[in-house]
Structure 1
Amino acid sequence: MTIDTDTPTPAAAGGTQSLERAIALLRAVAASDPEGARLADLMAGAGLSKATTHRLLTALAREGLIEQDAGSRRYHPGPDLDALGQLAAARHRPPLPPAPAPPAVPQPPEAVARPSAFLRPEYRGDAIALATLLCDRHVRAADGARAALLHESVAGQTTELSFARLARDSARFATVLAGMGVGPGDRVAVLLPKGSELLIAALAIWRLGGVYMPLFTTYTASAVAYRLADSHAAAIVTNGFLRRKIPRDNARPVVTVEGDEAFGPEVTPFWSSLHAAEPRSEVARYRESDAFALIYTSESEPTPLGVPMPVKALSGIEQYMRIGLDLRDDDIYWNMADPGWAYGVYYGLVGPLLLGRTTIFCDGPYDVRQGYRMLTKYGVTNLTAAPSQIRAWHGADPAGEHQFALRILSVVGEPLPADLIAWANRTVKVPLLDQYGQRETGIFIVNRYDPDGGDRPGDGSLGRPMPGFRVVVLDNGGAEAPVGGAGEIAIDVENSPLFWFEAYANDPDRTARRFRHGRRYYLTGDWAFLDGDGSIHYRGRASDAIPMQEGE
């Protein structure tokens, strides 16, 4: 990683949902094979309903950007798109001498993953200004007024942190961390409850090119000590209450959020030092393969594994937010997962920042009454939760006592029984959709809800692979099992452009077990079978499987 003092002008942010979806369709058509793209494939690839897909395709055809073959009814790039491409090519690359085209090698359709619309160039290369992507461009797009965070206290008090304030405070705190010696590639442990300090610390670390390492607040002192030592953390950000979990012999710099607890000169006060610091103008540049977060597995693991998350994983995060969660411009989104865990980091912290959306944090351990109050107070329309939280709803069973604005409800962690799904559907009056993924992959199998009445899995399966992933079932010998054959869920790495995991930070033997049939396949450790419609049906967890959610 390098430090660059010039903050790049970000690509134009904002735009309507329709524009983003039209661009996704255009990319999917352009990535289709020479025979053209079917309507059903485009619906699946872009995660849109039939009515929406047809409406956008009609508009693109009207502008000459795509065309539909009258006989096959398949869609192809249009003449105006070809003209635009030639103009762009003349500007961005020198002309190449003509060469005979090699003969096309046909591939069976099952050998290639459906293309992703979110392999964006800003997530690729060797000079990615991560803090700009996750914060600064949103300040310029909306004059900084948009809320980056709504923080709800246990007492019901709400505080707001705007993107403009987040940019200013994180630039000042980056100066504080740099003064402690934190630089590119350094891991910084953040042991904080949900709150504005957590967002500020994360952005400050990314301004310096560092690696954000969240520590779950209920970890024991020994669990904290192990992760600090194993990661070689360069600094720690915490508060007075949680600081007691840090080893007494710790020699790393410690920043503590001010509170009622007294602390000595060896500790740097968070807010006082932040306000005394000059804002740092430099923005670090990452390579796409550089880690920007390090997520450890739970205390239940004999040896907790460190999962480095590279910048190129942003493509999969955006895809899941837009397609897997169907996050729309007018949604009020709440990810209830704790930001100390993978699902909370990926889709409750990084995902909203990436899309310029508001993160909602709610203090304290999960409480059903508090959860219902949050849903009604904020008018949440898009909610994602852990299975344990849905079970808590079921235990309280306050059906009929509240009116919700929910449009979609997703759950990640483990497949839920059919009776619990049916109960949740009756209670919140929207479908409960299971999703599947791991710390090493993010979510890559999803169920989708189509409010226009399109196809949606209703058979209790995990769902189907997201575009950008090819998912197979392998038998014990490493061969792909036929339809209906049981085996281990695996990702075909060679045909999955959104797959990003390379290795654990601290366990080469466990890495080798993930790829025990060679680097072609990443093995999840979960057992399932594949049906004729491409849906994955879960059959059990092997000891090597690592879920994304806490407590599952």
Structure 2
Amino acid sequence: MDAASPRGAQSLSRAVSVLRVVAAAPTQGARLADLVKGTGLSKATAHRLAAALVHEGLLAYDPASRYYGLGQFLLDAGSRAGGGAAGSVAEADHAPDPSLYQRPEYGGDAIALAHLLCDRHLPGKRAHPAMIHETVSGQTSELSFGKLAEYSARFARVLASVGVRKGDCVAVMLPKGVELVIAALAIWRVGAVYMPLFSTYATSAVNSRLESGEVKAIVATRTLVDRARNYIDSSTPVFLIEGEQINRIDGIVKQFWSSIYSTEPLDDVAMYGENDPFIMTYSPKSIAAKLGLMIPVRALAEFEQCMRVGLDVRDEDVYWNMADQGWEYGIFYGLVGPLLIGCSILFCDGPYDVSQGYRVLSKFRVTNLTAAPSQIKAWRRRDLTRAPNRLALRLVSVCGEPLPSDLVSWVTRKLEVPLVNQYGQRETGMIMGMRHDPHNPRALGHASVGRIAPGFSLVVLDPDGAVLGAGAEGTLAIDIRRSPLFWFRGYRKDDPGTKARFRFGDDYFILGDTGHIDADGCVHYSGRASHAISMQG
């Protein structure tokens, strides 16, 4: 209490002092000893006040670790008020209540995935484009939510007729386009697992993944079917896009569109459990099928978190994720994410070209763009600010590598829009980010990787697995107990790989990077690049 404190407010002032200590504590929170030291109160008084604040929802207490953290009431209030922190990932006015990310439709044992990704949008968006496709030559086509529902239901019946059942893996080796979206949703209608493959995979890489995933059917172009010949036998259904001719193979070859038009829609929609996989990918860094990642349905909560907060996608946005659909970032936030929140997927085929990219940006008046740093660098070399048609961009997001200050300056000053730089891993999704805002000079010069995303808690561990304080260098890890959006539990048939990620037990997921977290909660890398960064580098 100081001389300026109001009379009769001693208890309130003491409670506020407790809140201040917790708010200034490292990411993991503050223990009772920290409260006593930071407030000067007796242990009994500090404990009594902390217990009262927990009861009122202003603080949260973890009995296992004995740490106090800010309660949900204050976290929600901070999100609505913007927190005042430089570099927050999304604007507070557009950050939904964190409770949105623990919706009941993402949990339980009866999740109608196809309904979540398509059918529930039909009452108000039947004619709205679920996908817009732009060819290299500039031709545009659309696939409405109504047509996506119909075609995917028809192809789902086709898949069921060749024996694809719940839990089976179906490989899709298609370029960006209408067939890819229809095939994915049809797979989820029958409860199967979607396994995308990069078009650049060599024959050995394709076959090792097909074998490891025990694939039951293949949807592909001729080029990729040819690469899969070693896996295909007389019982393997292969769906080929019309116009593609192949020499004789042992599999059961069917034409994709002909099979759709010759059958009736499947009325039933398969149910998934929250832990059931619906996507399976493998590490792209190896020819052999390694680090098989089974993405469970409950990961949808993180996908929505990233779409609405990390990428700040709004209902009025024209959103374009330029990532390849064989990479998790493109699958999570370029295919599933848009379908989940009911916005249009924008696909542009062919090899990347700056002129083509600018044409798509200006033609469709893209307002929300996410791209690789290499693509942004290419645009800066061509200086799109000199183009005749002013772009409609509201926000640019990148993921994959640390950005040099001159690139941040070019986007924020020249394009006059905020730049969000995100970091994550294929096992976690996007877990942290930094927003560089031209209207907030303090955010422009911020040097850290960023702040941890809502729904995740990050800690720094010493070599023995003990949690370190603010500023201390160590191993970065996700505190699983305090991260409701963390969904990874292990690699498929890879116990050594899984154990390496949980080497300090089930409470922490090891990111594989070293660094520290400063007193403001900002993350700083100091060790090797993360898997997500090195994969893109």
Q: Under a length normalisation based on structure 1, what TM-score does the superposition of the two structures give? A: 0.78
Moved over 3 A (4+): 30-36, 41-53, 114-117, 262-266, 299-303, 394-399, 448-458, 548-551
Which residue of 2 is the match for residue 130 of structure 1?
A: 113
Aligned equivalent of 1:515, options 485, 502, 512: 502
* Kept in 2: contact 1:412–1:549 (CA 8 A): no
* Kept in 1: contact 2:212–2:289 (CA 8 A): no
* CA pair 387-116 structure 1, distance change in 2 beyond 3 A: farther
Aligned equivalent of 1:280, options 262, 266, 285: 266
C-alpha separation in 2, matches of 1:368 and 1:525: 34
C-alpha separation in 1, matches of 2:338 and 2:256: 24
Which residue of 2 is the match for residue 329 of structure 1?
A: 315
C-alpha separation in 2, matches of 1:127 and 1:232: 25
Aligned equivalent of 1:343, options 329, 333, 337: 329
What does residue range 322-471 of structure 1 map to in structure 2 within 5 Å?
A: 322-402=308-388, 403-448=390-435, 456=443, 458-471=445-458
The CA deviation at 1:52 is 7.3
* CA pair 304-211 structure 1, distance change in 2 beyond 3 A: same
Aligned equivalent of 1:259, options 230, 233, 243: 243
* CA pair 40-512 structure 1, distance change in 2 beyond 3 A: same
- Specify the SS of the correspondent of 1:391: helix
* Kept in 1: contact 2:106–2:274 (CA 8 A): yes
Number of equivalenced pairs: 462
Which residue of 2 is the match for residue 160 of structure 1?
A: 142
Aligned equivalent of 1:118, options 101, 104, 118: 101
2:129 partner letter: A
RMSD of aligned Cα (Å): 2.6
C-alpha separation in 2, matches of 1:41 and 1:137: 28
Which residue of 2 is the match for residue 233 of structure 1?
A: 215
Q: Under a length normalisation based on structure 2, what TM-score does the superposition of the two structures give? A: 0.81
* CA pair 396-50 structure 1, distance change in 2 beyond 3 A: closer
* CA pair 455-417 structure 1, distance change in 2 beyond 3 A: closer
What does residue range 466-485 of structure 1 map to in structure 2 within 5 Å?
A: 466-485=453-472
* CA pair 248-37 structure 1, distance change in 2 beyond 3 A: closer
Aligned sequence identity (%): 51
* CA pair 506-388 structure 1, distance change in 2 beyond 3 A: farther
The CA deviation at 1:452 is 7.8
Which residue of 1 is the match for residue 66 of structure 2?
A: none
The CA deviation at 1:458 is 4.0
Aligned equivalent of 2:130, options 106, 128, 148: 148
The CA deviation at 1:447 is 2.2
The CA deviation at 1:318 is 0.5
* Kept in 1: contact 2:207–2:230 (CA 8 A): no
1:447 partner letter: M
Moved more, 119-128 or 292-301: 292-301
Moved more, 168-177 or 394-403: 394-403
C-alpha separation in 1, matches of 2:405 and 2:98: 32
* Kept in 2: contact 1:341–1:548 (CA 8 A): no
The CA deviation at 1:394 is 3.4
* CA pair 394-118 structure 1, distance change in 2 beyond 3 A: same
* Kept in 2: contact 1:324–1:447 (CA 8 A): no
C-alpha separation in 1, matches of 2:437 and 2:107: 31
- Specify the SS of the correspondent of 2:408: helix
Which residue of 1 is the match for residue 526 of structure 2?
A: 539
- Specify the SS of the correspondent of 1:241: helix
**Larger-gyration structure (1/2):** 2
The reply on whether 1:202 has 2:184 as its aligned counterpart is yes
* CA pair 134-146 structure 1, distance change in 2 beyond 3 A: same
- Residues 291-346 of structure 1: CA deviation (Å, up to 9, x unaligned): 00012111347653211111111111111111111111111100000111100000
1:267 partner letter: V
Which residue of 2 is the match for residue 191 of structure 1?
A: 173
- Specify the SS of the correspondent of 2:294: strand
* Kept in 2: contact 1:388–1:551 (CA 8 A): no
- Specify the SS of the correspondent of 2:378: helix
1:533 partner letter: D
* CA pair 348-52 structure 1, distance change in 2 beyond 3 A: closer
* Kept in 1: contact 2:419–2:437 (CA 8 A): no
C-alpha separation in 2, matches of 1:227 and 1:511: 19
* Kept in 2: contact 1:383–1:410 (CA 8 A): yes
* Kept in 1: contact 2:221–2:244 (CA 8 A): no
* Kept in 2: contact 1:382–1:407 (CA 8 A): yes
- Specify the SS of the correspondent of 2:512: strand
